[in-house]
Amino acid sequence: MQDESLRLEDLLGRTKLVDENPGSINSVAIIGAGIMGQGIAHTIAAASIEVLVIEKDFLHLERAKQNLTDTIDREIKRWAITQSEKKSILSRIKWEMDLEKIKDYDLIIEAVDEDFNLKQRIFTELDSLAKKDTIFVSNTSTLSLTKLAELTGRPKKIIGMHFLNPVPKIPLVELVKCLYTSNETVEIVKAFAAKIGKTPVEVYEYPGFVTTRAIVPLLNEAMYILLEGVATAKDIDTAMRLGYNFQYGPLEMADMMGLDEVLAWMETLWKTLGEPRYRACPILRKLVRERKLGKKTGEGFYKYDEHGQTIY
C-alpha cells in the first residue's frame, strides 16, 4: 500500500513538472497588424493560443480588425471553417495600441515593415518592457538578426520566424538563428511552430535565407518578361502555374506579398549581395511610386475588387 502511495505521489509530481514546463509558449504578442501580422495572429489563435496584436494607431488597428474578419468570412463562404470557429479565433485575439501591454507575454513577434531603423526602435523598447525570459522573434526576410540581437540584453533569446503569405495556408516557417541564438531558444520555438501547425526549417542568418533568396529572382524575371512585352501578366502566371504546378503565378504572388515589400527585399539583396538578378525591374519601381502595391491597395499587376478578388 505504501509503495502504491509513493508511485502515485511520484506520478503526480512528474505531471506537475510537465504542466509547469517553463519552455511552453502560452501567450503571444504581435507587433504590427499588416498582412503578415494578421495572418500570424489568425494562425496562432486558431491553435488555441491567446494573442495580443499591437498597432501604432486606431485607424490601422481598426482596418486590421476588419481585414481579418473579411478574410475569415471568405473562408466561411468556401466552407473552409465554420461560424463557431470564427468566433473562437477572434475571441482569442486582443487589439491594443500600447506597447506596455506586452509585459506578461511568453513570446513577442515583430512583424512590421522591412525597415531596420524601425525594427531597431521596437526591439530596444520591447527589451525594456518584456519579462526577462520572453523570447523575441522577428519576421524579417532580409535584415540582420544579429544586429537586432545586439541592441537587447537577451541576445540568446532572439530568433527569426520567417512566415510566408498567406500565413494560415502555408505550412512552412523558416527558423532563423543569429550569431547568439541559444539551442534552448531554438527548441522552444520549434515546439511552438509545430503547435501552430507549421513545419520548421532551420536556417542560418544570411540575406534572404532560403525562400526569399530563391523566389525574388523568379518574381523579378517575370516582371522583366512583362516589361519586354513577351506575354501578358495573366498568361505569364498561367504558364508558370500550369507548367510548373505552382499554386500562384509569380506576378499574382508579388501582388499578394505587397509590391513595396517585394521592392524592399530586392533592394536589400541587391545592396548586400551585389548580384544583378536582385536588381529590381523598372516596372516594379513604377508601380510602387504610384502606390499600386497589390492586393492591399486594390491594384498592382492586377486590379482587385473590395473582396480581394481579381478583376480581369
Q: pTM to 2 decimals?
A: 0.83
Chain-centroid distance, C-alpha 298: 21
Give the three cell numbers for residue 200: 520548421
Give which of 274, 266, 291, 55 is closest to 141, Cα–Cα: 266
Mean pLDDT of 75-100: 94
Contact 90, 11 (CB under 8 A): no
* Per-residue model confidence as pLDDT tens digits over 128-168: 999 999 999 999 888 889 999 999 999 999 999 999 988 99
Give the three cell numbers for residue 79: 466552407
Q: Got the DSSP string for 60-115?
A: HHHHHHHHHHHHHHHHHHTTSS-HHHHHHHHHTEEEES-GGGGTT-SEEEE---S-
Whole-number pLDDT of residue 21? 54
pLDDT at 59 over 70: yes
Which residues, other chains included, contact 226 with Cβ-Cβ below 8 Å and sequence gap of 6+?
A: 232, 233, 236, 251, 283, 301
Tell me the C-alpha distance between 109 and 170, whole Å.
18
Question: Domains of the chain, with CATH numbers?
Answer: 25-204 (3.40.50.720), 212-301 (1.10.1040.10)
Q: How sure is the predictor about 172, in pLDDT bands with cuts at 50, 70 and 90?
A: very high
Distances (CA, A) of 36 to 226, 261, 290: 27, 11, 22
Helix ranges, the chain (H): 2-19, 35-46, 58-77, 83-91, 116-129, 145-149, 183-195, 211-227, 233-244, 250-257, 259-273, 282-289
* Per-residue model confidence as pLDDT tens digits over 61-71: 999 999 999 99
